């Protein structure tokens, strides 16, 4: 166990691609924590999806030993936090586990919306913050402008910002020295008090069971102790205590201020809730750490196997994933169109994509994903209040008094040349402007937006209207009543429940028109013409007709062609299996998600 | 001997000549351009293959011989004569055996027509392809319209039966353009026409250009459908109705050889890349040969057999082939014969569904595509073919 004075705990706050993972790699490398030959890119991001997308989903930690210029060797604990808004709660817990942050800003890009959201979390956690300007070796780097922007937008002093290039290694020793000299040691902790540790995150390891990342506040965590999770109530015998370097290394004990891991034959990640307080079963601490909250899914969608014979495989896969992700919820769903599947709840769109990717990739199941929906509160005339997760379950409107929908506060940073497009996008999505300020040539706009307008393709649209130069972040701000209706889509006069959506009454025609036009492109021509309609409460608001197929025949087919043409037809026939049959019409699986994408 | 199923389709012989003077950019047939061909050596190989196939099938009546390519009109008449002499010595010929040779409409080739007739050829099929010089150049053809017309006149004087091919649905071709061209073609026509919509095949020069975003102005589906429909109407009016997707004939002048393919008959394929279907000892086999001329020639000379190992066709494969070939014909297929080949009847629900939407007609034992159905035959087949 290390004395508090020689411990520094910190996190790194950065926008995606601003160099967080590369800096972490360099710190690990320069301190000799990992042998040169074991270095690989993004050491801390363990999942394939994390590496591929360059995002962090699970918190990771690494312990670095650094001999400082003052002659002492310091223990530096880095917590690499998830950076995405979907995991804002997890980020907040990670922030509470450390005392300082490196704020990494790309000197060629400047401050982005995601940086803001995370830096505010750090400020809220009372962090000491060291600004770090990265990529100073690039010709486009503008150190002075970006430093000024940090002061203007975030309001922290950037005069002593450390200038680095994580890629080439310039300035990395200065970062290490700044961590030691400018960040505070952990706050007083009492080694003799009952154990009090924060559950920072946890993940499943096939050999060890659940591995829990902990920050010790008071007391000492040792192998053999019987511990208790104060919120979930579970008790376990500690098998192993250790630290990440970044490989797992066992230690005898972890004391106040230290960050490490424990294993205790815990079978499901579900049993370990982020933010929970860990203490000893006997003579434990009296009060839990503040700020715990269970995660609540905000985005729902249906997941159905493309091949209905794979339903049981999907059930197994979803159950396994859910064991390791407490924030992911699911219940069985039956759709007239898509058969058996699951209605699943997620923390946000990224979370949805990650889970869907993992189901497809790790479990090899082809999925149809229905349009994401938010949770509406339906106030019935008889006083009952229902939560609506699926537009297909919308009760008869005559029984409904009013409907409330979730709203968010969205922060968008954008170069001023695209400001008009961004404002138009937000207005079109029923936004209410809350604030607009400038930092240099970049504007920061804050909007109050309905989550249902954002949940689907808002981010794609934002990227497209700003050529990728805007950044975006949001937080939930509560529910508000609005004039919402369920819109149905009828293909060849049959309602397709998986395409039902909730829309604002004033936007029903526009949305309906866009959807039927989109579907006309997405559904291949059939041997007969197909009407495609959007309807609200039995009234058709938009209609298109898909013409019948005009020509699909092989021009030449003689003796030498029979084998080849037969194979070609068999291949085409197999392609039909990727479609779903609605009455006589076959709809390709991509149509269910693409039909909702608006080209505004 | 019991009647074997192939006898409903007849028995034919296909001879593949794999050489061309130049490769056309749209063509995905097995053709090669070489400086010189030792026709004597090829003759020995063809005769050896006829002997080999004859040993297995010599008691059958032969209904047709077809010289395809490549460009078979590059064969010396003596070579064609030697092959046909051996064919007649091998199989008893039907009274009206059809012997077709594919020819390019150039003056050099038309100079050989009399020689082919004397060798026994009684029908030529000419690759005229377009009656428009700029489109002929675009299609990579080596002849002009005037040259094609002159060659065609010689063919008509030389042979009783003459067919020619045109390619339509070309780049920037309007309905009116094609109406004029087809009207001119029908005025020329003897008794048979093959009218193919231009198809961009992978592995061809056009395929590569198309993949790079070239070949602008090819008709979209709606125009292609209109072009097809207009073609059917004009030909019908001119007394040459479509008896197959792309083939038109005066009644009685249908290509007997090609009917063997579409009626699920037996055919032997000789030459590089030639395919065959042979029913032997109750099993039906798909045969094919190496594509490379040199490889085929060596196999024949060294092993006495130019074929790749044969593939037996399962009842399901046979049913599927009968369906996909037979529904190309205006007269369609026999459901009983389909069932006897495949062992399973077609799904009656699918037949009802396709009849209800007007794509097929089911009368007694006959199932055929309607005129609306023939132009979307692939969609019909995707429904009817078994899972």
pLDDT in tens, A494-552: 999 888 899 999 989 998 998 999 999 999 999 999 999 999 988 999 999 999 999 99
- Which residues are within 8 A (CB) of B90 and not within 5 positions of it... i.e. 6 or more apart? B50, B51, B54, B58
Q: Using an 8 Å CB-CB cutoff, list chain B residues near A565.
A: 324
Give mean pLDDT, residues A228-255: 93
Query: A568 CA to chain B: closest CA distance, Å?
Result: 10
CATH class of B315-384: mainly alpha
Q: Do A552 and B321 touch (CB under 8 A)?
A: no
Report the chain B residue with the minimal C-alpha distance to residue A571: B382
- Which residues are within 8 A (CB) of A284 and not within 5 positions of it... i.e. 6 or more apart? A194, A195, A228, A230
Q: Do A560 and B374 touch (CB under 8 A)?
A: no
Instruction: Decide: helix, strand or coil at residue B207.
Output: helix
* pTM (2 d.p.): 0.71
Query: B281 CA to chain A: closest CA distance, Å?
Result: 21
**Tokens 């197909």 map to which residue?**
A530
* Alpha carbon distance A221, A223 (integer Å): 7
Residue that wins the pLDDT comparison between A323 and B378: B378
Q: Domain ranges in chain B?
A: 5-261, 315-384
Q: Using an 8 Å CB-CB cutoff, list chain A residues near B14.
A: 559-560
Confidence of residue A56 (pLDDT cuts 50, 70, 90): low
Q: Which pLDDT value is given to residue A40?
A: 63
Mean pLDDT (chain A, rounded) = 88
pLDDT > 70 in chain A, percent: 94
Q: Which pLDDT value is given to residue A280?
A: 95
Q: Do B374 and A569 touch (CB under 8 A)?
A: no
Q: Do A562 and B321 touch (CB under 8 A)?
A: yes
Q: Give yes or no for a contact between A209 and A265, defined as CB atoms under 8 angstroms apart.
A: yes
Report residue B131 as tokens.
């009656």
**Tokens 């919120």 map to which residue?**
A231
Query: B38 CA to chain A: closest CA distance, Å?
Result: 25
Residue that wins the pLDDT comparison between A389 and A55: A389
Residue that wins the pLDDT comparison between A89 and A541: A541
Residues of A near B (Cβ–Cβ under 8 Å) read 525-528, 547, 549-560, 562-563, 565-566, 569-570, 572-573, 576, 584
Q: Which pLDDT value is given to residue A78?
A: 93
Tell me the backbone φ, ψ of residue A559, rounded to 5 degrees.
Answer: -55, -40
Q: Which pLDDT value is given to residue A46?
A: 54
Render pLDDT for A115-155 as a digit per residue (tens, 0 to 9).
887 888 888 889 999 999 999 999 999 999 999 989 988 88
Q: Does B199 touch chain A (CB under 8 A)?
A: yes
Q: Give yes or no for a contact between A135 and A167, defined as CB atoms under 8 angstroms apart.
A: yes
Spell out, as residue ranges, where chain B has pLDDT lower than 50: 1
pLDDT at A395 over 70: yes
Look at chain B and count its residues. 387
pLDDT at A41 over 70: no
Using CB atoms and an 8 Å cut-off, which of residues 127-186 of chain B contact chain A?
none
Q: Which pLDDT value is given to residue B58?
A: 86
- Which residues are within 8 A (CB) of A418 and not within 5 positions of it... i.e. 6 or more apart? A465, A466, A467, A469, A470
Query: A550 CA to chain B: closest CA distance, Å?
Result: 5
What ipTM does this complex have?
A: 0.94
Render pLDDT for A380-391 as a digit per residue (tens, 0 to 9).
999 999 999 889
In Å, how far are A439, B344, B370, B373 from B382, measured between CA atoms? 61, 17, 16, 13
Confidence of residue A470 (pLDDT cuts 50, 70, 90): confident
How many CB atoms within 10 Å of residue A286? 7
* Alpha carbon distance A301, A501 (integer Å): 11
Render pLDDT for A427-440 as a digit per residue (tens, 0 to 9).
999 999 999 998 77
**Tokens 């805007």 map to which residue?**
A470
CATH assignment of B5-261, given 3.40.50.1820, 3.30.750.200, 3.40.50.261, 3.40.50.300? 3.30.750.200
Render pLDDT for B55-83 as a digit per residue (tens, 0 to 9).
999 899 999 999 999 999 999 999 999 99
Q: Using an 8 Å CB-CB cutoff, list chain A residues near B380.
A: 527
Give the angle subtended at the CA of B192 by the CAs of B187 and B195, to the nearest 5°: 85
Q: Which pLDDT value is given to residue B164?
A: 96
Render pLDDT for A343-380 as a digit per residue (tens, 0 to 9).
999 988 778 888 888 898 888 998 888 878 899 999 99
- Which residues are within 8 A (CB) of A160 and not within 5 positions of it... i.e. 6 or more apart? A130, A131, A182
pLDDT at A54 over 60: no
Q: Does B302 touch chain A (CB under 8 A)?
A: no
Render pLDDT for A434-460 as a digit per residue (tens, 0 to 9).
999 987 778 899 999 999 888 867 887
* Alpha carbon distance A581, A338 (integer Å): 9
- Residue A234: name the closest of A203, A198, A277 by CA: A277
pLDDT at A84 over 90: no
Render pLDDT for A325-335 as a digit per residue (tens, 0 to 9).
878 899 999 88
Q: Do A557 and B357 touch (CB under 8 A)?
A: no
Q: Which pLDDT value is given to residue B1?
A: 38
pLDDT > 90 in chain A, percent: 52
Query: A178 CA to chain B: closest CA distance, Å?
Result: 55
């Amino acid at each position: 166990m290390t004395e508090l004075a020689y411990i520094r705990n910190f996190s790194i706050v950065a926008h995606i691609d601003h160099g967080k993972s590369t800096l972490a790699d360099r710190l690990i490398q320069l301190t000799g924590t990992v042998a040169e030959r074991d270095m690989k890119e993004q050491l801390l991001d363990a999942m394939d999806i994390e590496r591929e997308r360059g995002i962090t989903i699970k918190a990771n930690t690494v312990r670095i030993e650094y001999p400082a210029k003052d002659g002492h060797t310091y223990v530096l604990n880095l917590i690499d936090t998830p950076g995405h808004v979907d995991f804002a709660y997890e980020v907040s817990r990670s922030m509470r586990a450390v005392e300082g942050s490196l704020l990494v800003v790309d000197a060629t890009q400047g401050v982005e919306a995601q940086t803001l959201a995370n830096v505010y979390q750090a400020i809220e956690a009372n962090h000491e913050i060291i600004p770090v300007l990265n990529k100073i070796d690039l010709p486009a780097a503008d150190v002075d402008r970006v430093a000024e922007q940090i002061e203007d937008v975030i309001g922290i002093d950037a005069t002593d910002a450390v200038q680095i290039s994580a890629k080439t290694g310039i300035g990395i020793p200065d970062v290490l020295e700044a961590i030691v000299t400018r960040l505070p040691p952990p706050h007083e902790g009492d080694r003799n008090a009952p154990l009090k540790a924060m559950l920072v995150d946890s993940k499943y390891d096939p050999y060890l069971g659940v591995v829990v990342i902990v920050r010790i506040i008071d007391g000492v965590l040792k192998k053999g102790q019987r511990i208790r999770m104060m919120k979930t109530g579970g008790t376990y015998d500690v098998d192993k205590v250790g630290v990440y370097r970044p490989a797992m290394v066992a230690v005898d004990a972890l004391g106040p201020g230290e960050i490490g891991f424990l294993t205790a034959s815990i079978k499901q990640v579900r049993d370990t809730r982020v933010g929970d307080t860990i203490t000893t079963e006997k003579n434990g601490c009296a009060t839990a750490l503040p700020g715990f909250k269970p995660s609540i899914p905000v985005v729902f969608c249906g997941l159905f196997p493309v091949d209905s014979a794979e339903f049981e495989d999907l059930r197994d896969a979803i159950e396994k994933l859910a064991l390791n992700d407490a924030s992911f919820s699911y219940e069985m769903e039956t759709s007239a169109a898509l058969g058996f599947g699951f209605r699943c709840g997620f923390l946000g769109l990224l979370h949805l994509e990650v889970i869907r990717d993992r189901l497809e990739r790790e479990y090899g199941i082809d999925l149809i994903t229905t349009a994401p929906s938010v949770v509406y509160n339906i106030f019935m005339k008889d006083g009952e209040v229902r939560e609506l997760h699926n537009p297909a379950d919308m009760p008869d409107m005559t029984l409904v008094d009013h409907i409330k929908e979730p709203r968010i506060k969205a922060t968008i940073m954008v170069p001023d040349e695209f400001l008009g497009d961004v404002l138009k996008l937000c207005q079109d999505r029923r936004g209410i402007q809350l604030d607009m300020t400038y930092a240099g040539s970049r504007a920061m706009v804050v909007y109050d937006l309905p989550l249902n307008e954002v949940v689907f393709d808002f981010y794609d649209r934002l990227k497209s209207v700003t050529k990728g130069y805007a950044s975006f972040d949001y937080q939930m701000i509560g529910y508000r009543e609005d004039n919402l209706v369920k819109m149905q889509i009828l293909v060849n006069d049959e309602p397709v429940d998986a395409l039902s959506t909730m829309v604002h009454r004033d936007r029903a025609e526009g949305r309906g028109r866009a959807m039927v036009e989109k579907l006309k492109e997405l559904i291949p021509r059939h041997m007969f013409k197909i009407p495609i309609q959007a309807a609200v409460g039995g009234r058709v608001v938009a209609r298109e007709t898909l013409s019948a197929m005009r020509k699909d025949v092989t021009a030449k087919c003689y003796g030498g062609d029979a084998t080849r043409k037969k194979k070609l037809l068999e291949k085409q026939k197999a392609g039909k299996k990727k479609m779903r049959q609605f009455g006589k019409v076959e709809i390709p699986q991509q149509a269910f998600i693409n039909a909702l994408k608006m080209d505004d | 001997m019991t009647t074997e199923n192939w006898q409903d389709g007849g028995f034919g012989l296909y001879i593949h000549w794999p050489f061309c003077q130049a490769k056309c950019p749209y063509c995905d047939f097995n053709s090669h351009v070489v400086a010189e061909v030792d026709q004597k050596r090829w003759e020995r190989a063809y005769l050896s293959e006829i002997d080999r196939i004859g040993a297995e099938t010599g008691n059958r009546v032969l209904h047709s011989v077809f010289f395809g390519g490549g460009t078979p009109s590059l064969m010396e008449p003596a070579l064609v004569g030697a092959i046909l002499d051996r064919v007649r010595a091998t199989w008893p010929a039907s009274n009206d055996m059809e012997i077709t040779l594919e020819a390019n409409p150039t003056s050099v080739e038309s100079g050989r027509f009399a020689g082919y007739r004397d060798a026994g050829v009684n029908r030529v099929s000419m690759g005229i392809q377009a009656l428009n010089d700029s489109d002929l150049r675009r299609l990579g053809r080596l002849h002009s319209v005037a040259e094609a017309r002159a060659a065609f006149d010689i063919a008509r004087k030389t042979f009783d039966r003459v067919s020619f091919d045109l390619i339509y649905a070309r780049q920037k071709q309007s309905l009116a353009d094609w109406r004029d061209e087809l009207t001119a073609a029908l005025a020329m026509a003897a008794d048979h026409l093959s009218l193919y919509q231009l198809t961009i095949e992978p592995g061809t020069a056009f395929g590569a250009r198309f993949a790079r975003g070239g070949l602008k102005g090819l008709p979209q589906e709606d125009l292609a459908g209109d072009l097809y429909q207009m073609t059917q109407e004009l030909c019908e009016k001119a007394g040459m109705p479509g008896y197959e997707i792309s083939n038109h004939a005066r009644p009685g002048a249908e290509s007997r050889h090609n009917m063997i393919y579409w009626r699920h008959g037996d055919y032997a394929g000789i030459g590089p890349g030639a395919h065959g279907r042979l029913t032997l000892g109750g099993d039906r086999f798909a045969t094919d040969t190496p594509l490379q001329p040199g490889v085929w020639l060596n196999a024949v000379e060294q092993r006495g057999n130019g074929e790749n190992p044969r593939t037996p066709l399962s009842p399901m494969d046979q049913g599927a082939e009968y369906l996909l070939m037979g529904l190309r014909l205006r007269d369609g297929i026999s459901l009983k014969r389909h069932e006897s080949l495949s062992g399973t009847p077609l799904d009656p629900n699918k037949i009802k569904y396709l009849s209800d939407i007007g794509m097929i007609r089911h009368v007694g034992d006959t199932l055929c595509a309607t005129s609306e159905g023939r132009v979307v035959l692939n969609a019909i087949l995707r429904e009817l073919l078994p899972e």
